[in-house]
């Protein structure tokens, strides 16, 4: 990681060099200014156009004798300017990105380099720069630290740029310029493995060539604004991180990348196949500050911040995120005061509600709970009064087929809650249920799960895991087969305890004749806790006075065997879910967050 003092020294050095430009620009321009077409091209959706060279060195885009000339000046032609204005007038979603090549063979103690924009106010005429241009944000670098021959630089700008310039005290070339979607951060490799990418916000900064850190000086630079609403809303960007592939054969040695982003400590648990993480900045408590890799930086291929899609302003569309961010997501960043809607990014279609309280959650799901799962009520629609006086669950999970059956049945009910209509519309909008040609609801793809902020923090983590395993079970046949094999090989005495616990616990009241439900709950109760706590969890339940009163012999068996059967089943399932998805007992997230 670069030393911050060293970075500051470099930036000061570059600014001193640029001050020479500010003081002596009149002499420089009168001696070298020869506006003409440059061989360097600018590319965008419109195609490619040649840049306008504002000095002789810019005609070919090369500095061959840095002892005499260190500057390249370029201006965009009118078609390019129109494209830039069209792309950037409402937001900072696009940036000018420039590719440079430098001669790393020269022997100098320092190789300062800088890049910045030119604006309309810098010109006295269409192609005539003023004798002096004011200080402005720059991207600075020491090319002694550059580990590749080529590198790309982009910087966001709040003012419409009409050109750009570069400075370097060594031989270097400008190869091309492009208008690309804005990205703040770094890319170590890409389509061209010889080229590194470094993106900056409107304040510029210093390039970290080793790809372990970057500054986010103005988090609002990646905000997008919803100007169509009566109240102007803003939404911050997404931190996209890509990592090298991971062999999950030895699941006990899963490498973890640790990152500090503005005081938010992120732990990235690498996955067997998917190696991309999209971290919503609205899920963090601070979007400003320094991004730095604390552990295993060699595993990161890129880390960039990009603007969100405008669909995030629709509260009926989920925010795609890793579940590790949901538990501590700042409530003030919710799009609705009563709940926030997420989608589990590793399992598309799994919608996740986090509710502000049980009351709201109950109106969304209690009637569905009795219709789908409760013994003695399955397939029936209970009344509003019943829902308000009976408990469903502290957390919920439902597959698409059951939701379609429920909403078809709800049509015949004389009453329902507004929240249930809201739920139905959200499910339709996101394809979890669909409306068939016959006018009936049919299953789509996905499921819905929920927890509440009214639950204690330790409960929320366990309930999130429990309900999330159900979401995977609904959709993945291979997982269901693995659970079934474990279920039928399970110790008979421990299974008797578990089923009696399901039957006699008033808040559960599961239908024991529903084999699909039994296997699903068997799996979720085992996988909801860390493996080292699985046996303790069941022994503690067997030791509770209520359980001892209801089923003393079953409880005695679990206590005497120390819950070993549950731990053994947990070990089997833990190894399975890790080899498939890089997850573990009690952990359904790949992004851990602390402050």
For 319-337, the DSSP string reads: EEE-GGGTTT--GGG-SSS
Mean pLDDT of 266-281: 85
| pLDDT given for residue 286 in this prediction | 79
Q: How confident is the model at residue 26 (pLDDT cuts 50, 70, 90)?
A: very low
Is the per-residue pLDDT at 275 higher than 80? no
Q: How far is CA 64 from the centre of its chain?
A: 44
Mean pLDDT of 98-110: 76
- CA–CA dist 371, 403 (Å, integer): 10
The 3-state DSSP class for residue 21 equals helix
β-bridge partners, 397: 449
| pLDDT given for residue 145 in this prediction | 84
Sequence-ordered alpha helix ranges (H) in 2-43: 4-32
Q: Please, what is the end-to-end C-alpha distance for the chain in angstroms?
A: 21
Instruction: Kindly state the DSSP code that residue 421 receives in the 8-state scheme.
Output: H
What is the residue-averaged pLDDT of the chain?
88
| pLDDT given for residue 510 in this prediction | 87
- CA–CA dist 547, 302 (Å, integer): 52
- CA–CA dist 166, 139 (Å, integer): 9
Mean pLDDT of 283-293: 85
Q: How confident is the model at residue 15 (pLDDT cuts 50, 70, 90)?
A: very low
155, 115 contact by CB (below 8 A): yes
Mean pLDDT of 571-591: 93
- Centre a 10 Å sphere on the Cβ of residue 193 and count the other Cβ atoms it contains: 9
Mean pLDDT of 10-26: 42
Is the per-residue pLDDT at 227 higher than 80? no
Is the per-residue pLDDT at 8 higher than 60? no
Q: How confident is the model at residue 220 (pLDDT cuts 50, 70, 90)?
A: low
Mean pLDDT of 316-323: 95
β-bridge partners, 113: 141, 168
Is residue 249 within a helix (H) or strand (E), and if so which, with residue range? none
**What backbone torsions phi and psi does residue 459 show, to the nearest 5 degrees?**
-70, -40
Lowest mean pLDDT among 177-191, 255-269, 512-526: 177-191
Reported as a single tens digit per residue, the pLDDT across 86-95 is 887 666 788 9
- CA–CA dist 395, 460 (Å, integer): 9
Mean pLDDT of 15-19: 45
| pLDDT given for residue 500 in this prediction | 94
Residues 6+ apart with CB under 8 A from 24: none
DSSP output for 540-582: HHHHSHHHHHH-HHHHHHHHHTTTHHHHHHHHHHHHHHHHHHS
Reported as a single tens digit per residue, the pLDDT across 495-543 is 999 999 999 888 888 889 999 999 999 999 999 999 999 999 999 999 9
| pLDDT given for residue 271 in this prediction | 77
Q: Which two tokens stand for residue 547?
A: 């359980």
- CA–CA dist 112, 123 (Å, integer): 26
| pLDDT given for residue 561 in this prediction | 97
- Centre a 10 Å sphere on the Cβ of residue 30 and count the other Cβ atoms it contains: 9
Comparison of pLDDT for 142 and 189, the residue scoring more: 142
CA angle, 191 then 195 then 201, to 5°: 100
Q: Which two tokens stand for residue 564?
A: 């070993």
Comparison of pLDDT for 254 and 319, the residue scoring more: 319
Lowest mean pLDDT among 138-142, 196-200, 287-291: 287-291
- CA–CA dist 208, 134 (Å, integer): 26
Q: Which two tokens stand for residue 433?
A: 């249920």
Q: pTM of the predicted model, to two decimals?
A: 0.86
Is the per-residue pLDDT at 43 higher than 70? yes
| pLDDT given for residue 231 in this prediction | 55
Q: How confident is the model at residue 20 (pLDDT cuts 50, 70, 90)?
A: very low
Q: Which two tokens stand for residue 423?
A: 């739920």
């Amino acid at each position: 990681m670069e030393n911050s003092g060293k970075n500051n020294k470099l930036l000061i050095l570059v600014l001193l060099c640029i001050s020479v430009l500010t003081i002596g620009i009149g002499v420089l321009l009168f001696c070298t200014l020869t506006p003409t077409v440059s061989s360097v091209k600018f590319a965008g959706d419109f195609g490619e156009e040649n840049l306008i060279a504002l000095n002789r060195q810019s005609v070919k885009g090369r500095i061959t004798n840095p002892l005499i000339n260190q500057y390249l000046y370029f201006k965009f032609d009118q078609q390019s300017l129109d494209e830039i204005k069209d792309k950037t007038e409402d937001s900072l979603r696009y940036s000018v990105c420039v590719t440079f090549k430098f001669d790393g063979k020269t022997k100098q103690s320092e190789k300062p380099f800088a890049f910045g924009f030119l604006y309309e106010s810098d010109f006295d005429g269409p192609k005539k720069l003023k004798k002096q241009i004011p200080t402005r944000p720059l991207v600075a670098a020491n090319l002694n630290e550059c580990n590749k021959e080529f590198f790309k630089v982009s910087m966001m700008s709040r003012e419409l740029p009409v050109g750009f310039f570069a400075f370097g005290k060594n031989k270097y070339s400008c190869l091309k310029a492009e208008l690309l979607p804005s990205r703040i951060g770094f890319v170590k490799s890409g389509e061209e493995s010889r080229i590194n990418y470094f993106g900056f916000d409107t304040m510029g900064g210093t390039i970290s060539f080793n790809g372990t850190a970057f500054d986010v000086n103005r988090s609002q630079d990646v905000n997008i604004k919803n100007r169509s609403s009566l109240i102007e809303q803003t939404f911050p960007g997404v931190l996209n991180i890509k990592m090298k592939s991971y062999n999950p054969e030895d699941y006990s040695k899963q490498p973890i990348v640790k990152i500090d982003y503005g005081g938010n400590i992120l732990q990235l648990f690498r996955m067997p196949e998917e190696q991309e993480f999209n971290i919503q900045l609205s899920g963090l408590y601070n979007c400003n500050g320094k991004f730095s890799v604390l552990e295993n930086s060699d595993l990161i291929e890129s880390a960039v911040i990009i603007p969100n899609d405008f669909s995030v302003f629709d509260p009926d569309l989920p925010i795609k995120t890793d579940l590790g961010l949901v538990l501590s997501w700042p409530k003030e960043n919710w799009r609705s005061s009563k709940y926030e809607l997420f989608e589990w990014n590793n399992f598309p279609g799994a919608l996740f509600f986090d509710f502000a309280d049980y009351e709201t959650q109950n109106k969304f799901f209690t009637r569905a709970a009795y219709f789908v799962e409760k013994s003695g009520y399955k397939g029936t629609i209970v009344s509003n009064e019943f829902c308000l006086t009976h408990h469903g669950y502290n957390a919920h999970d439902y597959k698409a087929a059951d939701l379609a059956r429920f909403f078809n049945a709800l049509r015949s009910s004389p009453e329902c809650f507004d929240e249930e209509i809201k739920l139905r519309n959200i499910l339709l909008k996101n394809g979890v249920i669909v409306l068939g040609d016959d006018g009936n609801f049919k299953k789509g793809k996905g499921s819905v799960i929920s927890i509440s902020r009214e639950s204690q923090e330790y409960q929320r983590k366990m309930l999130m895991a429990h309900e999330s395993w159900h979401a995977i079970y609904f959709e993945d046949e291979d997982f269901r087969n693995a659970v079934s094999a474990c279920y039928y090989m399970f110790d008979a005495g421990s299974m008797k305890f578990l089923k009696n616990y399901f039957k006699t616990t008033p808040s559960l009241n599961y239908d024991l004749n529903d084999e699909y439900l039994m296997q699903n709950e068997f799996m979720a109760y085992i996988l909801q806790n860390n493996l080292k706590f699985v046996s303790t969890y069941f022994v503690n339940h067997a030791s509770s006075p209520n359980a001892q009163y209801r089923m003393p012999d079953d409880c005695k068996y679990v206590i005497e065997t120390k819950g070993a059967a549950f731990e053994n089943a947990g070990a089997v399932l833990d190894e399975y879910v890790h080899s498939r998805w890089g997850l573990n007992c009690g952990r359904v997230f790949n992004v851990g967050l602390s402050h």
